[in-house]
Amino acid sequence: AQKVTQAQTEISVVEKEDVTLDCVYETRDTTYYLFWYKQPPSGELVFLIRRNSFDEQNEISGRYSWNFQKSTSSFNFTITASQVVDSAVYFCALSEAESGAGSYQLTFGKGTKLSVIP
């Protein structure tokens, strides 16, 4: 069965500090997709990134970067020079491609609440 673990429940940082959010996943499939979503207080889940299991290249988008390591089943998310607007709950999610039961759904972790203090 697929599983996503976000061990950090809450993180507080001071503005302009860098912060890394951890994500560890479990799957028996060799083909799968990993996602990060941001959930501000309004409740809507905002898509940040999708990465397939065959692409282990790290990705950078502005102040955001993602580190995917299949060897440790991790897909960590780093925010550089954090800002108050980054305060939100961040979710890591997994979608399996090979097993029919998992391919149409996202399995989410419990989320990490990030608070950026001015």
Partner 1 sequence: DAGVTQSPTHLIKTRGQQVTLRCSPKSGHDTVSWYQQALGQGPQFIFQYYEEEERQRGNFPDRFSGHQFPNYSSELNVNALLLGDSALYLCASSPGTGTIMNTEAFFGQGTRLTVV
Residues in contact with partner 1 by CB under 8 A are 4, 32-33, 35, 37, 42-47, 50, 52, 91, 93, 95-97, 101, 103-111
Judge contact between 108 and 93, C-beta under 8 A.
yes
Nearer to partner 1, 39 or 80 (CB): 39
CB 81 to partner 1: min, Å: 26
CB 96 to partner 1: min, Å: 8
Nearer to partner 1, 19 or 38 (CB): 38
Nearer to partner 1, 86 or 96 (CB): 96
Q: Which two tokens stand for residue 5?
A: 């673990």
Strand partners, 47: 37
